Every structure is written in C-alpha cells, then in structure tokens.
Amino acid sequence: MASVAPTPPAAKPPPPKLNPVRVQIPEESVPDRTQDFREVLHAYSKEDAVLEAKRCIQCRRPWCVEACPISQDCREYITLLAVRDFDGAARVTLQDNPLSTSLCKVCYHYCEDSCVVKKKGVPIAIRQLKRAALELGNSDLAYVPSKPRGQRVAVVGGGPAGLQAAWELGLRGYGVTVFEQEPVVGGLMQTIPGYRMTDADVQTDRARFRDLDVTFLTDHRVGPEFPPEQLLEQGYQAVFLSIGTSTHRVLGIPGEELPGVVPALQLLKRINRGETVRIGERVVVVGGGDVAMDSVRSALRLCHGRPVTLVYRRSRPEMPADPEEIHGAEQEGIRFLFQKAPVRIVGAGHVEGLVVQSVELGAPDAGGRRTPVNVPGSEETLPCDTVIVAVGQKADLTGFGLELDLRIAPQGWPEGKGERFATATPGVFAAGGRSVVYAMGNAIEAAAGIDRYLCGLRGETPQPRPDAFGAATSYHLPAGYTTPIRT
C-alpha cells in the first residue's frame, strides 16, 4: 500500500503587530486653557478613534475588563470602533455603564494600567475611546425596565454609588426613590472642575434613566429629622445608604478660623455652580490628593496666572493624586513645596501667612508609606492671603444610629459590615468608593444584595441583571473574565 504523506500543519497566523504609540489626544494649549474653565481634553476625530482602536490586540483574556471595577466590556467597544460600528460601540458602552458620559471624562482608567500594550509602550486610550463611542455613535438611548416587582427601595445619596444602585434596581423592575440633600444629583462629581467635566455630563447620563421607575427627590436630607429607619416604616422594603463623604476634614491648627481660609470642597462647589468666587493674590493649597490638584488648578484659573503654591508634607512619589492630574498641574506652572507641614495660619483679621515646618520621612507605617517627622527649628512663613484646605473628606453621620453598626472605610465613607454591604438592620445596605467607578462597583454588589433580600421576601430566586436595553439575553460577563477588583 502506497504511504500517504502527512498533511503539514497549517501555518499559525502571525501574531498581531503591536503598535506602542498612542494616537495623540487633542488638548488645549497651556496658555489658552488656564485663562478659564474650558475643557482641556477634546474628543478624537472619527479617523483617529478608528486608528487608536485598531492598536488593541484583542487579548483573549481581557486584562482591561478584569481591572475595571464595573467590568465594563471595553474590549468589545474597542472592537466595534475598529470596524466603524459606532452605534454598536455606544450601545455596548452604555449597557454596562450608566454613568458613561461622566466616566469617559474623569475615570482614573484602571483598565489602562492593566492593558498589555503598556508593557511595550503607551496603553490603549480606553477611556478616550469610550468618549469616541458615545460621541460618534447614537448614545441617546433609554434604559428598559423589567416587569414591575411591586417593591420600592429608598436610596439615600445621589452620588455615583446611589445612581448605580438606582439603575441596577430600576432595571430589575423595582421602584426606586433617591433622596439627595443637594439641589442636584451627582455627589462629589459636582465638585470636579469644568475643565475636566461639567454638570451637563451628569445630566446626559441621568436622562437615560427616563423610563426606569426612579424618582429623584433633591433638597431632601435623611438624618436627624427624618431618620433612615423611618423609610422602612414608610413603605420602602429596603434602603441603600450611599452618603459618601460630603464634608471636609480640617487641618486642626491655630488660625484656621481666619477669613481667607477656605475648604476645598466649598470652593470647588461654588465655582461649579457659577457663583462669583474671588480668591486672593497669593494662594496656598494644602494637600496632595486629587482634590488638592483640582484646587490648585482651579485657583490658577481664578487668579489669572498669579502664582499658586501647593504644600504637601510628603515627597512627590508619595502623592496620592492621579499622575495625570499632577502632570497637568506641573504643566500649568503650579509651584510645589514638598516635605512641608502646616503649623499655624497667621494674620490680623485675615490670613497673612502660612507657617510651615520642614519634614523628614521616617520609617514606613503599616500601609508602607513613610511617616513624616517634623524637623524642630525649621519653621518658615509663606506669605499668602488665601489658604485652601484640601486634606480629605469625611461622612456626615448625623442621624444615622449605632444600630446600623456601620464601618468607616479608610477614605471616610460608611459601609455595611455584612455580606454585600448589609448593615446590622435587615434590609438596610450601605457602601461608597474611593473613585467614581469604584463607588459604582461597590454599588453593583450592594444592589445584588438588596435584590436577593427582596427576592427572599417574595419567595423567589434572584436572577442575573437583565439586559439594559430589554434584549432577551440577560447580562453576562465577557468571555475570559475572572474576578473583578472591587476594594
């Protein structure tokens, strides 16, 4: 018998060529952008968006999706952009993410840190491509609720966590009432300066909730006169507390009561509301986080190029602020004074100076950050007429009783200690997060807990979240997905 020559194995397709260079994101020049609060970053053109999307090598295991706290299927919207299906890309973006228009401007893009392309060059511009999907495709869509469940949930706090929970529960067919103490929803997003995002972005996101049974009651504070337990007595079957960190922390040094000392949150909120805000000629901002970066850059825009100084007690590598924001502040000419701790504020009837002391960095603390130690005899006075205090935020827990047994997260928001953020009071859940998308991620988990609790009351088994636009297939995690990072 004649032997048959074995068929040679099919040649493997060559691996996709990795392009390490990102298509440049258009931005305002430094002299122009510091004149006012105009947006710094602009959208990609259609051609640039497609070019950037084509850089994605479509990893079989999507590291980017795994790193996203809400499991946004960014690999999929990038694929659709690369083949010019802009409407499809917009829909995919919105089906996982009810705050897409806000997040495409301000998310700290944890996905990009995990993108494999970063190993060879600049990661795919995943956040900027989200913006391209929404602006180039049809993003004026309305979410579709499931059949009504006949149960109502009260959400206290209309920040990102509260909005995400309202969306999750609204899609599942629950009635939701959001109680928000401020005149507008958005939470701390309402303090993010206009050069990064505007209230219109939050409103665009909120408009897509129009067909869900979600009622927003603004200027409604839950607290001493209207305790959260009363909500359960008033016919709400469950309560989600997402009160975040709406008050500022103080320095706790002498002179902090002087006119001219301004809490950062108050300043940023007033600017965003369009109020006339006057600050002095010589401004010093104290802090090293994102709020401090927003404060120095906003102050620079208010005082039209006069010097603005940032005082931070540790060194630059230890600044908790987003590197992109630090870079923006450096580009705009902010003066950074590192390893200086504020000691007191001086002035006769108004701020005239901030006394600081040099700091040496000692042994690392439990969290691995080196402990600042003040150097005796190293005091100096920084002449100034405005001191902006940006040293963190905390929750206002007035009216929230001990029976809830809340835990305070290191960054200040209250959360339930139980499974899926359940508090010690049955039916009451509480969560928040250190950034917009982390707050949303935690709210997804809390909403699943609330759904399970309410299903229990009805004697039903919880189902996965339905498709956001009413498609027959229910919500599923993308292939290759493992465990979300939600801490």
Ligand X SMILES: Cc1cc2nc3c(=O)[nH]c(=O)nc-3n(C[C@H](O)[C@H](O)[C@H](O)COP(=O)(O)OP(=O)(O)OC[C@H]3O[C@@H](n4cnc5c(N)ncnc54)[C@H](O)[C@@H]3O)c2cc1C
Give contact residues for ligand X (rule: CB under 6 A): 106-108, 156-162, 179-182, 187-189, 191-192, 221-223, 242-246, 268, 290-291, 294, 396, 413, 432-437, 439
Binding mask 72-91 for ligand SF4 (x = CB under 6 A): x-xx--x-------------
CA dist 411 and 369 (Å) reads 15
Please spell the DSSP secondary structure of 108-121, one letter per residue. --HHHHH-GGGGTS
Rounded to a whole number of angstroms, the minimum distance from the CB of residue 98 to ligand X is: 13
**Rounded to a whole number, what is the largest CA-CA distance in the chain?**
109
Q: Give the residue among 381, 408, 380, 376 at the shortest CA–CA distance from 395.
A: 408
- Does position 44 interact with ligand SF4 (CB under 6 A)? The reply is no
Residue closer to ligand X, measured from CB, 228 or 280: 228
Which one among 33, 91, 105, 130 touches ligand SF4, defined by CB under 6 A?
Answer: 130
Rounded to a whole number of angstroms, the minimum distance from the CB of residue 361 to ligand X is: 26
Rounded to a whole number of angstroms, the minimum distance from the CB of residue 282 to ligand X is: 22
Q: Which does 389 bind (CB under 5 to 8 A by kind): ligand X, ligand SF4, none?
A: none
Residue closer to ligand SF4, measured from CB, 107 or 430: 107
- Does position 110 interact with ligand SF4 (CB under 6 A)? The reply is yes
CA dist 11 and 28 (Å) reads 48
Kindly give the pairing relationship between strand 370-374 and strand 353-364: antiparallel
Residue closer to ligand X, measured from CB, 128 or 357: 128
Question: Which of the stretches 64-72, 208-216, 265-273, 405-413 binds ligand SF4 when contact is defined by CB under 6 A?
Answer: 64-72
Contact 172, 153 (CB under 8 A): no
Question: Which of the stretches 104-112, 225-233, 298-306, 446-454 binds ligand SF4 when contact is defined by CB under 6 A?
Answer: 104-112
Q: Which does 167 bind (CB under 5 to 8 A by kind): ligand SF4, ligand X, none?
A: none
Please spell the DSSP secondary structure of 160-186, one letter per residue. HHHHHHHHHHHHTT-EEEEE-SSSSS-
Residue 233's contacts (CB-CB under 8 Å, 6 or more residues apart) are: none
Q: Which does 447 bind (CB under 5 to 8 A by kind): ligand X, ligand SF4, none?
A: none
Residue 424's contacts (CB-CB under 8 Å, 6 or more residues apart) are: 403, 404, 405, 416, 417, 418
Question: Which of the stretches 24-32, 62-70, 218-226, 351-359 binds ligand SF4 when contact is defined by CB under 6 A?
Answer: 62-70
Residue closer to ligand SF4, measured from CB, 68 or 81: 68
- Does position 25 interact with ligand SF4 (CB under 6 A)? The reply is no
* Residue found by looking up tokens 């009783």 in the block: 401
Contact 191, 269 (CB under 8 A): yes
Full strand arrangement of the beta sheet holding 175-179: 214-217, 175-179, 152-156, 238-241, 428-430
Rounded to a whole number of angstroms, the minimum distance from the CB of residue 104 to ligand X is: 11
Provide φ and ψ at 383, rounded to 5°: -65, 135
* Residue found by looking up tokens 């040679």 in the block: 8
Question: Which of the stretches 30-38, 58-66, 373-381, 456-464 binds ligand SF4 when contact is defined by CB under 6 A?
Answer: 58-66
Question: Which of the stretches 7-15, 111-119, 363-371, 385-393 binds ligand SF4 when contact is defined by CB under 6 A?
Answer: 111-119
Which one among 49, 90, 92, 124 touches ligand SF4, defined by CB under 6 A?
Answer: 124
Contact 468, 475 (CB under 8 A): yes
Q: Which does 62 bind (CB under 5 to 8 A by kind): ligand SF4, ligand X, none?
A: ligand SF4
Q: Residue 189 carries which DSSP code?
A: G
User: Which two structure tokens, joined as six digits, stand for 255?
Assistant: 């002179």
Residue closer to ligand SF4, measured from CB, 61 or 273: 61
In degrees, rounded to 5, the angle at the alpha carbon of residue 348 between the alpha carbons of residues 343 and 354 is: 25
- Does position 51 interact with ligand SF4 (CB under 6 A)? The reply is no
Amino acid at 168: E
Binders of ligand SF4 in range 168-197 (CB under 6 A): none
Q: How far is CA 359 from the centre of its chain?
A: 31
Name the H helices within 344-467.
436-458
In degrees, rounded to 5, the angle at the alpha carbon of residue 54 between the alpha carbons of residues 53 and 55 is: 90
Q: Give the Cβ contact number of residue 165 at 10 Å.
A: 30
Residue closer to ligand SF4, measured from CB, 113 or 360: 113
Binders of ligand SF4 in range 245-264 (CB under 6 A): none
- Does position 161 interact with ligand SF4 (CB under 6 A)? The reply is no
Rounded to a whole number of angstroms, the minimum distance from the CB of residue 81 to ligand SF4 is: 11
Binders of ligand SF4 in range 408-467 (CB under 6 A): 437
Q: Where do contacts with ligand SF4 occur on this chain (CB under 6 A)?
A: 56-59, 62-64, 68, 70, 72, 74-75, 78, 103, 107, 109-111, 115-117, 124, 126-127, 130, 437
